[in-house]
Amino acid sequence: MTRNWFITGGTPGGFGMAFADAALELGDRVVLTARRPAELQEWARGYGDRVLVVPLDVTDTKQVHEAVKTAETHFGGIDVLVNNAGRGWYGSIEGMDDAGVRAMFELNFFAVLSVVRAALPGMRARGSGWIVNMSSVAGLRGTTGFGYYSATKFAIEGVTEVLREEVAPFGLQVMAVEPGAFRTRAYAGFADEPVREALTEYRPMLEAVRDAMVTQDGAQPGDPARGARAVIAAMAENPPPRRLVLGSDGFDVTVATLEEALAEIRDHEALSRGAVFPAP
């Protein structure tokens, strides 16, 4: 069966385009959205009428609804929604300015909710489909210097967990995807961005974080094309996983984080169980 995909965040070289390529390899059709759609036109021409590029700033709720309606009208509905648009900024918890914090949540969290809410009525009516929310390993283990970015991804994890249960009765399935370091353009802008931090006490830490990102750019071990195919393979499993960590680095960090958390919880079992009223 040919499926119709709606993918946000169609930056060349990123996960959005990797998902689009993988879906098209299967013979599916794709609506790929981007804030700069002109960057995708040459790529899209190679796929003819199986691809529709739609301009979209996911933080604009009106544009979101228009884009979803366009997709539904053009291809007859959405079978797979991939919430991929997002970006990470670094800064300290104490020192990042309020506007930066709110902008990050608008893009990485509230925009995801807007797209999900816009697409769900049509998907529920079809009685089947997939929602794939791109999270991050940072949504399972907070990353120093990226505290608010981590917070947005932790929020995505929580919403995805509940959404999965709420839409299951309608024939819909939901997965969170947590990539580690992948060779996208996510780090490309850091070399040209000076450290913006109101508190000098945190500048050495943030400069080290920025330098590490600049050094890693273009050398990340993760392959977006392989990552997208892994997600599609996971979607075909019976049952499919609720979440999928991508990349060896991400896998190792996630397993260590969860094992440490479980061990710590068990170490303090007596305190946890002691916080209840005594048995009568």
CB 164: neighbour CB atoms within 10 A?
A: 18
Amino acid at 16: G
Amino acid at 140: L
> Is 90 a known active-site residue?
no
Which of 90, 149, 187, 202 is flagged as catalytic? 149
φ/ψ of 119, rounded to 5, equals -85, -25
> Is 136 a known active-site residue?
no
Which of 92, 114, 135, 136 is flagged as catalytic? 135
Which of 136, 153, 187, 202 is flagged as catalytic? 153
Distance CA 55, CA 234 (A): 29
> Is 69 a known active-site residue?
no
* Catalytic site positions: 135, 149, 153
